[in-house]
Structure 1
């Protein structure tokens, strides 16, 4: 449908683009936010460097990996070691707030509009920033949910209490929601056997509700959110819609990016905005209906 050649500039001037986005959001009947990993990266949820060292330097020394993603795929030999890693990963990326107020600024931008959020992110940042949970579709899961690893049934389970028990068992302290190392005392890399989560139906180990293979559970909440999103599209497709794409890459473009392009092209009154540092593109076919900015998302949202 679209040409391979892409455009990354619909207008040339930074301030002109900001004004255009403000104008389009201001006059929109609806705003549909499509959010990928780049949005959380802008908010400070990075998985390498100082943040990795702060919470996982002991794992780096023992296992040799140097970023959180690699640690998540490491073949730990026991469940005690597996959950020793994952409980920290989940706590800091799901139950702690992002270091920068990017999501809060986004909420301030659209809270008075009729909006819906479609996201591949699994860190719950939208709800923590005040977005209505009934206006969010988490397509790829949620760090805050367990599921059966088999899976023997299509249910998910809130894991906050279990994860907190695990990190506390390692020797961490939780102060004002933040995970902190004690001044004295050793931090363990494992969790006690008694804290390992098992399926209440079949007894198999629990896993994370993350879409990484064919075992991903789409529970009732997932399907209800999918239906609300589709209804939102149908209810507004003849109105002025702004498709606001934030930090979406090309790992899974068929979920957000390509549908946003297609709907912008098809819907008469639709407009497409893409904010993505160094990766903001749109097809030539929708150039006149687009603004793309290769800038830090957080900085642009401050301007807006």
Structure 2
């Protein structure tokens, strides 16, 4: 791409069926498929921070603090770490251990199951693995709701948090509803602490400078780098799904550069209101301004 970045948008809605057919043909012709997945993919799958999920799992917190959505509640300065832990335990349960209600991830897997594919994602909700994607073909760049790390951090290790999320007390589940109203505070003795320094554990999410890139993260990064090397001159389809401009340097910009440097590559973007591409790669771009669920269903 040249120094001046000019963008082109998706054709008008009336041409969406033709664009979907172009995407189908690109899939069939590709030697490899790289999926770039952003938050819009999980939204299309039915994972939302408001509505029924909020009222079902967080009604007590909503009543007490007036949270309008699950996400903003995660940043609330709770008075105690036990209350903070109770909120996040439910949050993790809903957004990591529960499968998305829609068929988006299953439809996507059907499209690439028998192809040479790799997934690069900023999502941290584990939905790819819950749907059956090969974990060796996944790179969660921004962390995982299912992992804990030292809040300091004093070392570059992480641990699975399932035992803490599903912890039980004598009067029922502290973190999760189980036919009864859950407690809003995890007892101090059940709050997870770092096994090395004793500080409280925190989520393994890239939200500030404390994010830990553990051994699993580095192995995934190496597999992604190897995949890129093996396909840098192949007929590769870069399929971007629901990626916005929060962190475009992770998926969007690298996809544009990869297609610009490989004339056998194709860029496809499915995104409501944000399906664009540099004019330099317009002829090898498939831009679909439509609901991801509908597009994947049509392809599947």
Structure 1 match to 2:235: 240
Structure 1 match to 2:191: 196
Structure 1 match to 2:276: 281
Q: Hey, what's the Cα distance between the residues in 2 that align with 1:76 and 1:59?
A: 11
Check the 8 A contact 2:86/2:174 in 1, yes or no.
no
Give the SS at the match of 1:282.
Answer: strand
Counterparts in 2 of 1:8-47, with a 5 A limit? Answer: 8-9=9-10, 13-47=15-49
The counterpart of 1:73, out of the listed 66, 69, 75, is 75
Q: Hey, what's the Cα distance between the residues in 2 that align with 1:238 and 1:10?
A: 28
Deviations for 1:168-193, whole angstroms, at most 9, x for unmatched residues?
7784599xxxx6551xx433211122
Q: Hey, what's the Cα distance between the residues in 2 that align with 1:124 and 1:288?
A: 34
The counterpart of 1:58, out of the listed 56, 60, 71, is 60
Give the SS at the match of 1:13.
Answer: helix
Check if 1:265 corresponds to 2:260: yes
Counterparts in 2 of 1:81-230, with a 5 A limit? Answer: 81-165=83-167, 171=172, 180-182=177-179, 185-230=180-225
Q: How far off its partner does 1:206 sit?
A: 0.2
Normalising by structure 2, report the TM-score: 0.94
Structure 2 match to 1:301: 296
Q: Hey, what's the Cα distance between the residues in 1 that align with 2:170 and 2:34?
A: 42
Q: Hey, what's the Cα distance between the residues in 2 that align with 1:186 and 1:170?
A: 10
Check the 8 A contact 1:173/1:181 in 2, yes or no.
no
Check the 8 A contact 1:8/1:292 in 2, yes or no.
yes
Check the 8 A contact 1:44/1:98 in 2, yes or no.
yes
Give the SS at the match of 1:248.
Answer: coil
Check the 8 A contact 1:2/1:285 in 2, yes or no.
no
4+ residue runs over 3 A deviation: 1-5, 168-174
Check the 8 A contact 2:96/2:145 in 1, yes or no.
yes
Q: How far off its partner does 1:159 sit?
A: 0.8
5+ residue gaps, structure 2: none
Give the SS at the match of 1:77.
Answer: coil
Q: Hey, what's the Cα distance between the residues in 2 that align with 1:44 and 1:173?
A: 26
Check the 8 A contact 2:20/2:288 in 1, yes or no.
no
Structure 1 match to 2:286: 291
Q: How far off its partner does 1:50 sit?
A: 2.3
Check the 8 A contact 1:2/1:283 in 2, yes or no.
no
Check the 8 A contact 2:16/2:289 in 1, yes or no.
no
Q: Give the aligned length.
A: 297
RMSD over aligned Cα, in angstroms?
1.8
Check the 8 A contact 1:170/1:189 in 2, yes or no.
no
Check the 8 A contact 1:169/1:191 in 2, yes or no.
no
Normalising by structure 1, report the TM-score: 0.93
Q: How far off its partner does 1:56 sit?
A: 1.0
